[in-house]
Structure 1
């Protein structure tokens, strides 16, 4: 079995270049993640102009994690509402079938 080498992607974060390997087909996801992180860093820098380096990176990462947690909670609430609607529809169908 021959292993195919993954291409190395060079990305820039906080002015530093990083050489990263993305799984095949995930290069665009990596690029989107880098753009998202750089946007979060810029937003955090605007809010806290004195932060630099690791402190800026950590705060930006925490902000992204907080947004992700809120999205997960929102997703869970949406799933619960959808499940309740499906359950109600199934109940209505079952009731209609039993009345026929």
Structure 2
């Protein structure tokens, strides 16, 4: 199967690197100050977002379509809420004394 092979995971790694570089460029264009904990929050959000699709695909493949759709919608809803919160956190300007 394609999803068990090395090529799939190689492509997934390349996509993750492209997302990281794109996020860094996007943050620089918006003049966001990113420190280690903001990067960590962004990585955790990306992980939750990705797991929504991975769990959906697994459950669809196991012929549990109803559970797959429900879990995907729940995961994407949580990702949406956390994404809005992360966006507001990253775009907030630091208070100057």
Normalising by structure 1, report the TM-score: 0.35
Tell me: higher relative CO, structure 1 or 2? Use CA pairs within 8 A at least 6 residues apart: 2
Q: Which structure has greater helix proportion?
A: 2
Give 1 or 2 for the bigger CA radius of gyration: 1
Normalising by structure 2, report the TM-score: 0.36
Q: Which structure has greater strand proportion?
A: 1
